[in-house]
Structure 1
Amino acid sequence: MTTYLIDVTYNADAWAAWIRTPHSCAPKIEALLTNLRGRLIGFWWANAGFDSLLLVELPDAAALLTFRAYAASMGGIDTVRAVPLLSDQEGVAAMASAGAHSQ
């Protein structure tokens, strides 16, 4: 499984819908990720250059693209950006590999 940091920005239609009927979108996200053999680790609202931040696990890049395409097709979402994250152990292994190739 790969862990991804995903940031999402919403459009005015999404904000208007939440103001009319406040609700969490986390259950829908969890259901989609479960169908993709992934999981939602966390969901946060943000006051940044994006509106929400998700930490998810997905089995592969195809599952990530499916998630992004589905989320974007729902309407109300302007952008969905994903960053694959490496564990500390994976990062150290990458540095060791870089060191081996630099000699």
Structure 2
Amino acid sequence: MARPFPPEKGTGIAARTGDCHSCCIGTTGAQERKDQAMPLYLSKFSYTPETWARLTSNPEDRRKAAQAYIESVGGKLHGFWYAFGSHDGYNLWEAPDNVSMAAVALAISGGGALSSFDTTVLLTVEETLEALRKAEQIKYRPPGT
């Protein structure tokens, strides 16, 4: 389900799922998220060979750890997948703001178990349409012209 832009009262993910973290209620500024959907983020990661060796000898469901990391900043883990290809896995996260997601990414990246960890802020179709409208107002000039 697409998130409206701007979010309408009672349309956030918490409102749709009934799963709400009270950490954002009563705050101000960028964290004022009551009844609004939080931004979504897609992370792709790769483990080091040493991490794969440890997981092979001692299999562990890493979703639980990922969930704890994002919940510590008031967010939610929406998905955790392993994959074939250029990256070992993908996560879909919801976080109160970019700073909170950056904190999670920094903590995970600094742990040494990953060889790569890239996070992308996801935009809804509505957010992209709004950006397109704003882009039309910008008078871009190519370099050297």
The alignment status of 1:27 with 2:49, answered yes or no, reads: no
The alignment status of 1:99 with 2:136, answered yes or no, reads: yes
The alignment status of 1:81 with 2:118, answered yes or no, reads: yes
Give the structure, 1 or 2, with the largest relative contact order (CA under 8 Å, sep 6 or more). Answer: 1
Equivalent of 1:51 in 81, 88, 97? 88
Equivalent of 2:98 in 61, 85, 99? 61
- Select the structure that is richer in helix: 1
User: TM-score scaled by structure 2?
Assistant: 0.66
User: TM-score scaled by structure 1?
Assistant: 0.90
> For structure 2, which runs of at least 5 residues remain unmatched after alignment?
1-37, 140-145
Question: Match of 1:14, as an amino acid?
Answer: T
> For structure 1, which runs of at least 5 residues remain unmatched after alignment?
none
CA distance in 2, matches of 1:64, 1:16: 28
Question: Match of 2:111, as an amino acid?
Answer: M
- Select the structure that is richer in strand: 1
CA distance in 1, matches of 2:72, 2:94: 12
| Deviates further, 19-28 or 61-70 | 61-70
Equivalent position of 2:78 in the other structure: 41
Equivalent position of 2:127 in the other structure: 90
CA distance in 2, matches of 1:80, 1:36: 18
CA distance in 1, matches of 2:137, 2:112: 47
CA distance in 2, matches of 1:3, 1:43: 14
CA distance in 2, matches of 1:53, 1:91: 23
Question: Match of 1:46, as an amino acid?
Answer: A
CA distance in 2, matches of 1:79, 1:36: 22
CA distance in 1, matches of 2:46, 2:112: 11
